[in-house]
Amino acid sequence: MAASHTTAPSTGTSQETSRTSATSSDSFWADAERHLVRYGGAFTPEIIDRASGSFVFTADDRKILDFTSGQMSAILGHSHPEIVATVQRQVATLDHLYSGMLSRPVVDLARRLAGSLPAPLDKALLLTTGAESNEAAIRMAKLVTGGHEIVSFARSWHGMTQAAASATYSAGRKGYGPAAPGNFAIPVPNAYRPDLTAADGSLDWRRQLDLAFDLIDAQSTGNLAACLVEPILSSGGIIEPPPGYFAALHEKCRERGMLLILDEAQTGLCRTGTWYAFERDGVVPDILTLSKTLGAGLPLAAVLTSAEIEREAHERGFLFFTTHVADPLVAAVGNTVLDVLTRDRLDERAASLGAFLRGGLADLAERHQVVGDIRGRGLLVGLELVTDRATKRSSDELGARVTRRCLELGLHMNIVQLPGMGSVLRIAPPLTATEAELSLGLEILDKALGDARP
């Protein structure tokens, strides 16, 4: 029998308890400052102790509504009971293997992912993070095409490893020496802030795309391999290219012998109201990468491609042998994620809740002149704040004030932490959130916008 551990009841006063808690908190932050490498932006000034459903709880038991699904990943909420049960069961039976060994959870997940996708995406490589899946996709594209040049959006975020970081333009390019050679950026088709306009003032995205590839052709050494883009740019400010854009982009790739790689780290698996965001455009990528949402908060990613591309890559010696490739523990979690998404029709739920959320945000826009634009799809929504609707002038400082006030009131909001984009709030609640929880978030945001008004 396991030893019994009991704690004697405290005989201290509430004042003593408060002093002890404060001392413990001071020690925590002192240790954090002394021992943690800072990896981007400031840490949220709360000690998070636990999480459940749509909420996280601090060490002093303050309840905070999580409108970011962790790192945009926990689509089933925190500590979903079926995910918990799967982890407990799987870790006790088969958690990790030599990378050349296969297990049933891995093959089952590959088969089921292929079954959720249109032809010819029927081959899967199971990895850990979004950066790793994009790294593998780029590596595969280079090997199959024989080229090395990669095209991405100017506000893209694809990860922090070498090839993925070289295709990332929203942040992190300065101070690290040369990026991988042959990486090119094309402008983002931002309908709210159009750079090239038609006669009616709307974004002329076709002319923008034509000019972009004129520049790509001028710079290319004739070794174009792939175009790697997000269907909805998240770190770039929740920007969704207009209908027809991806079909035209795909054609640009075809004309040049390039592969189209779509990075659905945040948009895949029901978040946008369909299983995959690319479904709206009727375009099937040559390679699809999934991550964040696939593991519902655990480190699981995938690369999906056709049998033809996989065969060519294999024949040319494709190598992506990593420590945690095809690990059974997270693969089992991925299967449970698919179970819940399918059974609970979370694609339909995301569409319905997304409409509810957009309606609430539209109401806020009527009361707060600082709301400049509402955009996104399903439960991936962007709210851009401006100091002047006519000029669309943005304010990083305003965005920071709103997010700080939201946190004080019990709502964790994510703002794009990039210069010039710090006024775009990214809203991505769990797909399991309730209308009541969304209403609570909207109420808090309403008050924060009022309190932070310039």
Q: What pLDDT digit, counting tens, does each position of 263-288 carry? A: 999 999 999 999 999 999 999 999 99
The pLDDT of 398-417, averaged and rounded, is 92
Burial 125-157 (b: 16+ CB within 10 A, else e): bbbbbbbbbbbbbbbbbbbbbebbbbbbbebbb
Within-domain flag for 122: yes
What is the C-alpha to C-alpha distance for residues 314 and 140, in angstroms, rounded to an integer?
9
Pair (94, 202) in one structural domain: yes
224 vs 426: CA distance, rounded Å: 33
Clarify whether residues 383 and 415 are in a common domain: yes
If one counts the domains in the chain, the total is 2
Render pLDDT for 290-349 as a digit per residue (tens, 0 to 9): 999 999 999 999 999 999 999 999 999 999 999 999 999 999 999 999 999 999 999 999
Q: Is residue 79 part of a domain?
A: no
Same domain, 158 and 105: yes
- Kindly report the CA angle at 340 between 339 and 345, in degrees rounded to 5? 110
CA distance 219 to 181: 12
- CATH number for the domain harbouring residue 414: 3.90.1150.10
Token pair 């400031």: residue = 42
150 and 229 together in one domain: yes
State the pLDDT confidence band at 416, using cuts at 50, 70 and 90. Answer: confident
The tens digit of pLDDT for each residue in 209-266 reads 999 999 999 999 999 999 999 999 999 999 999 999 999 999 999 999 999 999 999 9
Report pLDDT for 1: 38
The domain boundary residue, chosen from 328, 343, 358: 343
**Across 270-357, where does the E strand assignment appear?**
287-290, 301-306
Average pLDDT, the chain: 94
The answer to the question of residue 16 being in a domain is: no
Residue 134 within any structural domain of the chain: yes
Domain that holds residue 163: 84-343
Concatenating the DSSP letter of every residue in 56-107 gives: EEETT--EEEETTHHHHT-TT-BT-HHHHHHHHHHHTT-----TT---HHHH
| Same domain? 353 vs 336 | no
Do 379 and 440 belong together in one domain?
Answer: yes
User: Do 168 and 309 belong together in one domain?
Assistant: yes
Of 317, 343, 369, the last residue of a domain is: 343
Distance CA 285, CA 323 (A): 27
- Is residue 21 situated within a structural domain? no
Give the model's pLDDT for residue 11: 47
Is 11 contained in some domain?
no
Q: Give one DSSP letter per residue of 214-254, joined into a string.
A: HHHHHH--S-EEEEEE-SSBTTTTSB-PPTTHHHHHHHHHH
Are the C-beta atoms of 138 and 164 separated by less than 8 Å?
yes
pLDDT the model gives residue 40: 87
- Residue 33 within any structural domain of the chain: no
Catalytically active residues are 157, 230, 263, 266, 292, 426
Same domain, 128 and 170: yes
Q: Once rounded to an integer, what is the mean pLDDT over residues 88-117?
A: 98
The pLDDT tens digits for 10-37 are 444 555 555 566 678 999 999 999 999 9
- Closest by Cα among 198, 196, 190, 314 to 242: 190
Q: Is there a domain that residue 18 lies in? A: no
Strands 393-394, 380-388: parallel, antiparallel or unpaired by DSSP?
antiparallel
What is the tally of helices (H) and strands (E) in the chain?
Answer: 14, 16
